[in-house]
């Protein structure tokens, strides 16, 4: 029995239960991983002011994201290959988010399909879209997302080409995975994972296989995926997409104030300050370092959310104190999923909310929606 007290405890369990190639796919960055490491480290640059003699007997961590009240300003962000961390992973995470009361975002490159997640949840969820060369496929994806009652579209814009992730190459992570003797030994050292994967039919990219002409198996899928990311992606493409999506529209991957202004002009309902978890451009600044200038550039004209390195409820509180309207989790809840499935994701959310609430009280705060930078020391 493992005593879990924080997200780091879940990570230590997940690394033992998830095959190395899939664990390191998520828990790694590009090149030297300097940006991946900075994302987590730089949250510690901001320090809380401890206040006493304040009545904090009545508190609330609730806030709105996109006009919807939530128990805390958190959404589960899109994670590719989630269903390879745990069998049926996207379904389990979506169910946990739904029961807790926060949004779940399904990745284009998910193992469980849009229809799978819709079938196993009661409420609407969000869908994340990569702009690909196959425009007919994109149009069909959007139709499928609408038919599944997805309430928001999150377009990831920071992947015109794939960043070079050394761990993936060393681990032979490809489509299909390269089953070297080392990888086979590692897979069989995860008996629970193997047993669960044998019992599910969801082992491929569910949004792609069977939905693209000529893509019916892993070999044809590999050829298609490798050719699809579109280096010609422009703001004009996003403008065209905005015109055909009549629900909430989120742009993820903003790290520059000028790009934030363009997103406002486009009509985005929210933007996500994100560097893809340090998995794309290595050597750029952390998301928390980029946040203040982006907030200043948009002057409240759009909701500004942040991801990257969020591991505690204290990180969430710092983001809100600095002016963010919400946060996205990625690795934090993936660790929970890998450690203990649906219950692990719920545990992640519960721990973060408890940390958020406790820190709010010790800073002399009662209502998260009223928090501002006065609870932080000036840097």
Name the residues annotated as catalytic.
Answer: 276
Structure tokens at 154: 């999150």
User: How far is residue 267's CA from residue 94's CA, in Å, rounded to a whole number?
Assistant: 27
- Nearest to 158, CA basis, from 60, 271, 72, 62: 271
* CA 201 to mean position of chain CA atoms: 24
Residue with tokens 């309207």: 325
**Cβ atoms < 10 Å from Cβ of 161:** 9
User: How far is residue 325's CA from residue 298's CA, in Å, rounded to a whole number?
Assistant: 13
**Which residue(s) pair with 104 in the sheet?**
76
- Taking each helix axis as running N to C, give the angle between helix 34-41 and helix 287-298, from 0 to 180 degrees, rounded to the nearest 10: 70
**Which residue(s) pair with 376 in the sheet?**
48
**Cβ atoms < 10 Å from Cβ of 58:** 7
């Amino acid at each position: 029995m493992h005593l879990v007290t924080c997200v780091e405890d879940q990570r230590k369990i997940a690394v033992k239960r998830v095959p190395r190639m899939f664990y390191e796919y998520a828990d790694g960055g590009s090149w030297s991983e300097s940006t991946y490491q900075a994302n987590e480290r730089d949250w510690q640059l901001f320090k809380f002011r401890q206040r006493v003699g304040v009545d904090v007997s009545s508190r609330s961590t609730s806030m709105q994201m996109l006009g919807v009240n939530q128990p805390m300003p958190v959404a589960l962000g899109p994670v590719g290959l989630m269903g390879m961390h745990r069998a049926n992973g996207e379904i389990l995470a979506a169910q946990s988010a739904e029961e807790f009361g926060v949004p779940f975002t399904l990745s284009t490159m998910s193992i469980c399909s849009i229809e799978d997640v819709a079938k196993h949840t009661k409420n609407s969820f969000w869908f994340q879209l990569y702009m690909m060369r196959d425009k007919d496929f994109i149009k069909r994806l959007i139709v499928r997302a609408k038919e599944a009652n997805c309430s928001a579209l999150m377009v990831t814009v920071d992947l015109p080409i794939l960043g070079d992730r050394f761990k993936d190459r060393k681990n032979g992570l490809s489509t299909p995975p390269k089953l070297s003797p080392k990888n086979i030994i590692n897979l069989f050292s995860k008996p629970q994972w193997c047993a669960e994967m044998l019992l599910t039919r969801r082992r491929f990219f569910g949004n792609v296989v069977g939905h693209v002409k000529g893509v019916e198996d892993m070999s044809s899928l590999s050829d298609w995926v490798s050719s699809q990311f579109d280096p010609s992606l422009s703001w004009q493409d996003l403008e065209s997409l905005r015109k055909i999506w009549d629900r909430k529209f989120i742009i993820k991957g903003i790290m520059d104030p000028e790009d934030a202004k363009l997103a406002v002009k486009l009509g985005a309902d929210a933007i996500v300050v994100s560097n893809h978890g340090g998995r794309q451009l290595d050597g750029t600044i952390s998301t928390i370092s980029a946040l203040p200038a982006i907030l200043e550039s948009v002057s409240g004209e759009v909701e500004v959310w942040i991801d990257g390195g969020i591991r505690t409820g204290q990180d969430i509180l710092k983001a809100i104190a600095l002016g963010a309207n919400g946060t996205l989790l990625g690795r934090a809840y993936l660790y929970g999923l890998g450690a203990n499935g649906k219950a692990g994701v719920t545990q992640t959310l519960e721990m973060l909310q408890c940390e958020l609430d406790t820190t709010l009280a010790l800073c002399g705060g009662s209502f998260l929606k009223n928090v501002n930078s006065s609870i932080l020391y000036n840097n």
